[in-house]
C-alpha cells in the first residue's frame, strides 16, 4: 500500500478535542494525544481496527480512524501492571520538544488504552483492570498543522491482538466511533481514511515486513509541518 502525497487539508490526526470558536486556528498549540493501532496477524495479511467518526464531530467527521484521543490529567493516575518497555519510554522522551517526564510518557500510553476501551469496548487482558503497557510499541508521531480545526501532537502505539488477549469479534460501537471493523489493505481504498493515517499504516506495514517480532526502540517516523512544507523525519 502506497500513500498519496500529504496535503494540508488531510494532514489531520486521529484524536478528538475542544476549541474556542473565537480563537485563531493558526495559533492553537497542539494538545498531547495518543492513538492505538490494533493489528490482527492471524490471517494471510495484517488487519487493523478502525472506526468511523460521527458526522456531527467538528474534527474528522465521517473519516475512518484508529481509536484514540487527547491525554487527560486523570490518565497519570490510571492503574497499570507492567510499565512501558524502557526503549519505548526513551523514544517518547527524546522526541519531545517540551520537557516531558517518565510519568507523562506513561500517561500517553494509558490514554491510548483508556480510549480503546471507551470507544470500542475492548481492553487488554480484559479479566484484569491494570493495563499491560509493556505490550505497546511506539511506531509514529504526527502533529496537526496550523489552520486545522483541532491540533494534536499524537503518538501512535501498535498493539498485536494475539499478545494482548483481545477477541477480534468482540467489538462495540460508541458515541465516538461507529462501524468498527478490521481493515486490510484491500478495504482501505474503499474507505475515507485520512492521508496521514495511510502514511502511518505504510510505516507499520514496513515494520511488520522487516521484523515480525516487532523489536522495541526502533526509529519512529515523525510527521509535521515546517515553514509551509510537510516533513517526515525520524526520532
| 159 contacts 153 by C-beta, under 8 angstroms | no
- In total, how many domains does the chain have? 1
Residue 163 lies in domain: 8-234
**1 in a domain, yes or no?**
no
Instruction: Output the CA–CA distances (angstroms, integers) from residue 58 to 9, 148, 149, 186, 206, in the order listed.
Output: 14, 10, 7, 29, 32
Give dist(CA 53, CA 40) in Å, integer.
21
Residue 77 lies inside a defined structural domain of this protein: yes
pLDDT digits (tens, 9 = 90+) for 39-81: 999 888 999 999 998 655 545 668 999 999 999 999 999 999 9
Instruction: Tell me, yes or no, whether 2 lies in a domain.
Output: no
List the CATH number of the domain containing 44: 3.90.79.10
**pTM beyond 0.85:** yes
For residue 198, give the C-alpha cell.
495511510
Within a domain: residue 218?
Answer: yes
Q: What is the pLDDT of residues 63-72, one digit of tens each?
A: 999 999 999 9
Q: Is residue 3 in a domain?
A: no
184 lies in a domain? yes
How far is residue 137 from each of residues 26, 63, 88, 157, 213, measured CA to CA in Å? 32, 24, 7, 5, 11
Instruction: Name every residue whose Cβ is closer than 8 Å to that of residue 174 and which is 6 or more positions away in sequence.
Output: 118, 119, 120, 121
Does any domain span residue 71?
yes
In a domain, 133, yes or no: yes
Amino acid at each position: 500500500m502506497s500513500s498519496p502525497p500529504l496535503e494540508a487539508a488531510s494532514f489531520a490526526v486521529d484524536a478528538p478535542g475542544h476549541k474556542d470558536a473565537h480563537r485563531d486556528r493558526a495559533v492553537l498549540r497542539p494538545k498531547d494525544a495518543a492513538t492505538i493501532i490494533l493489528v490482527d496477524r492471524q490471517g494471510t495479511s495484517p488487519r487493523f481496527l478502525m472506526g468511523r467518526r460521527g458526522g456531527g464531530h467538528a474534527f474528522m467527521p465521517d473519516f475512518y480512524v484508529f481509536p484514540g484521543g487527547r491525554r487527560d490529567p486523570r490518565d497519570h493516575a490510571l492503574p497499570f501492571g507492567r510499565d512501558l518497555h524502557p526503549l519505548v519510554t526513551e523514544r517518547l522522551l527524546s522526541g519531545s520538544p517540551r520537557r516531558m517526564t517518565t510519568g507523562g510518557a506513561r500517561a500517553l500510553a494509558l490514554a491510548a488504552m483508556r480510549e480503546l476501551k471507551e470507544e470500542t469496548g475492548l481492553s487488554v487482558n480484559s479479566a484484569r483492570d491494570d493495563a499491560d503497557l509493556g505490550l505497546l510499541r511506539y511506531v509514529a508521531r504526527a502533529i496537526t498543522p496550523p489552520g486545522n480545526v483541532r491540533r494534536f501532537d499524537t503518538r501512535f502505539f501498535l498493539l498485536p491482538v494475539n499478545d494482548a488477549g483481545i477477541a477480534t469479534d468482540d467489538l462495540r460501537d460508541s458515541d465516538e466511533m461507529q462501524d468498527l471493523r478490521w481493515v486490510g489493505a484491500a478495504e482501505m481504498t474503499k474507505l475515507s481514511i485520512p492521508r496521514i493515517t495511510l502514511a502511518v499504516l505504510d510505516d507499520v506495514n514496513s515494520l511488520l515486513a522487516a521484523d515480525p517480532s516487532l523489536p522495541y526502540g526502533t526509529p519512529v517516523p515523525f510527521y509535521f509541518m515546517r515553514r509551509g512544507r510537510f516533513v517526515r523525519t525520524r526520532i
